Each structure stands twice: as structure tokens, then as C-alpha cells.
Amino acid sequence: MKILFCHTGDSPFASKDTAIFNSIDSTSVFCFSSSSKVMIPFVFLKQFWFLLIRLFSAKIYIAQFAGYHSFLPGIFAKLTGRPLLIISGGTDCVSFPAIRYGNFYKSGLGLFTKWSYQLSTHLAPKHYSLYDYDYRYDSSIPLKQGIKNFVKGINKPVTVITNGYDDTKFYRSSEKIKNSFITVSGGFEYPFQVALKGIDLILQAAERFPECSFTIVGVPVWKKLDVRSNNVTLLPPQKNTDLPSLYSKHQFYLQLSMAEGFPNALCEAMLCECVPIVSNVFSMPEIIDNSGFVLEHRKMDELIPLLNNAINDSGFNDKSILARKLISENYPLSLRTEKLKKLVLSLIK
């Protein structure tokens, strides 16, 4: 048996799933990565030969997210009668015109994303909201989001498989600094990233809370942020192994994103007993349950009292312990491994 797995770049998501697929059987991996739009046709050609060489050994095609990279696997799957499993993650499920974000906002990428879903055999979104969701966090964003609302008439089997985490790698290892907040982001090469991840809200909030400290991780040296207060610390991208100690020092983890599928950083910070403060989007309110605070709308006049409630909350220790427990019990890596294995094996029978 041969599993053909296509993704768009090395990431914790891709690494974890590659390990899971390899535990089932031999897995060939193709990374569809291009430095510019001009290079995309050449990457398509490279992927075509990758798939053609493995045509007779492939038993299943798997794509992490939908997009350009999932289209040819869909064509090969259809021609050979093999299944195509698409693991939906977030950007491949939305359209946010106000910040020019989401596969379905972009005409070309949107078409390839739509065609991929139509060619698929089975969908495995990381949360059901990625399939069908009414968005109310920011009034500038269209209400209807999720695959179902962009691929009209789609009728594919859906199995929700959430991310999974190793609580032996992420745990609290130090005392926490009072009134300290942390957030982790990447992708600052994209113009929409600051708004998408709520970094702009965090910088504004920092001015209003001089007694607190705010750490933003993942900011490259070339990126200029509008930092107007001296209680903000910008750190460059960190190794995954260095994050647990950073999380452990901070009381609160901020994830004020306009969109998130099933965020790794949030869950890993919760394992390190950070109390989460999240925006009311997609999976996040469900993930944090009663362990933290939810910003209902993208408004500063709602964020300020929410942060005041957080830093003055007498139940911090209970929330902190609950945060770790929720991730450890509800989203262990072993559970994702079990469900993904079961799904893959059912599709190749």
C-alpha cells in the first residue's frame, strides 16, 4: 500500500500527520511550495511527474488543506478510482474580502479549491465550523463561511478530526509573571496577517494596560509593527522546543484572530497552563470552554473590560489548571492518530 500525501509546507500540522500516515504504511510526501505565483506552473509540472511515477502504487491520495496542490491528486484519484481525502484546516474554507484573506476570496485559488472539493471522496475538517458556519465576530466579514457555503451542492462524507497534542512536551515549567500576556504568530510576509491574527488589537490594548506586559512571538526583524508602548516585547520565530518555556512564564495566552481553524499555539499554551483569551470564531470558544475568556466582537470597547476581568479574576489558578486538563483530555495526539488511521483504512478497503 502507498499513501500519497500533499501539503504546502513544513509545519507542525504536516509533520504530525506524516508520522501518522507512515505508521499505517509507506507514505510519499510532496510539498507544493512556490516562491511566487510565476513558479506555480512549474510546481504543477513537478507534482504531475511525482504523481505519475507513483500511479500504480498509490492506494489513496491525501491533501492537507485544499488549493492548487490538491487539484492534480484529485484528477489522478478520479482517473484511477482511488480515494482523495482532504483535511481542511481554515484558509481553504473561508472568504474575508475586507482583509483579502481566504482561498475563496481569490479567484484562481478559489476555483482550484472548489474543484478539489468536488473531486474529493471524503472531507476531514479539523472542526465542523470549517464546513458550515455563521460568522458574527466582525461585521465586515460575510456571514456565511465554511466549505458548504462556497461549494454549492457539495455532498461529500464529512468526518471531523480535531488536532491532537502531546502533553509530555508542553507543560508548565516555571512561575508565571504577573499580568503577562503572550501570543504567537507567523506569516508576517502577508499584508493581512496583523489584522487576521488580532495583533493590531493587542498593540492597542498594550497602550491601555501599562502595568501589564505583552509578548508577540514570530515577528521577523524586517517587520515593522506600530508599537507605541514600552511594555511590548517582539520576539523572532522560535523553535518549537523553546515555546513551552515561553508559555510557562506567561499568565495569559491571547488569540484574537479573525479566523482560526484549530490553532496549535492556543492549545499548546493551554497545556502550559496559560489562561486563554480568544475571539469568538470557529473552534476556539469550544476549545477553551470555561477555562478562559471570549471576545464576542472585534471591538476595543469590548476587549478592554474583558482584559480587566482577566487580570482581576480571583479564579486564575483554577482556570489555569482547567486549561491544561481540557487539552490533555479532549485533544490528545493519540485520539487524532486513532481517528485518522481508522478513516484512512476505511477509505482504501
Taking only the tens place, the pLDDT of each residue in 318-349 is 999 999 999 999 999 999 999 999 999 999 98
Q: Which of 332, 262, 261, 322 is nearest to 292 (CA)?
A: 322
Rg, C-alpha atoms of the chain: 20
pTM of the model: 0.94
As a whole number of angstroms, the distance between CA 286 and CA 305 comes to 22
pLDDT at 34: 82
Of the candidates 154, 164, 3, 5, the one whose C-alpha atom is nearest the C-alpha of residue 87 is: 5
Residue 242 to residues 70, 71, 245, Cα–Cα distance (Å): 33, 36, 6
Q: Give me the pLDDT at residue 36, please.
A: 80
Distance CA 321, CA 275 (A): 9
| Per-residue model confidence (pLDDT) at position 35 | 72
Residues 6+ apart with CB under 8 A from 10: 31
Give dist(CA 244, CA 251) in Å, integer.
Answer: 13
For residues 235 and 232, give the distance between their C-alpha atoms in angstroms, rounded to a whole number.
10
Write out the chain in H/E/C secondary structure: CEEEEEECCCCHHHHHHHHHHHHHCCEEEEECCCCCHHHHHHHHHHHHHHHHHCCCCEEEEEEECCCHHHHHHHHHHHHHCCCEEEECCCHHHCCEHHHCECHHHCHHHHHHHHHHHHHCCEECCCCHHHCCEECCCCCCCCCEECHHHHCCCCCCCECCCCCCECCCCCCCCCCCEEEEEEEECCCCCCCCHHHHCCHHHHHHHHHHCCCCEEEEECCCCCCCCCCCCCCEEEECCCCHHHHHHHHHHEEEEEECCCCCCCCHHHHHHHHCCCEEEEECCCCHHHHHCCCCEEECCCCHHHHHHHHHHHHCCCCHHHHHHHHHHHHHHHCEHHHHHHHHHHHHHHHHC
Could you tell me the domains of the chain?
Answer: 2-164+333-348 (3.40.50.2000), 177-330 (3.40.50.2000)
Distance CA 97, CA 105 (A): 6
Beta bridge partners of 279: 295
* Cα–Cα distance measured from residue 184 to residue 78, given in angstroms and rounded to the nearest whole number: 39
Question: Residue 303 in contact with residue 279, Cβ under 8 Å?
Answer: no
Residue 185's pLDDT is 96
pLDDT in tens, the chain (349 residues): 699 999 998 787 888 999 999 999 899 999 998 878 889 999 999 999 999 999 999 999 999 999 999 999 999 999 999 999 999 999 999 999 999 999 999 999 999 999 999 999 999 999 999 999 999 999 999 999 999 999 999 999 999 999 999 999 999 999 999 999 999 999 999 999 999 999 999 999 999 999 999 999 999 999 999 999 999 999 999 999 999 999 999 999 999 999 999 999 999 999 999 999 999 999 999 999 999 999 999 999 999 999 999 999 999 999 999 999 999 999 999 999 999 999 999 999 8
Rounded distance, CA 165 to CA 65, Å?
19
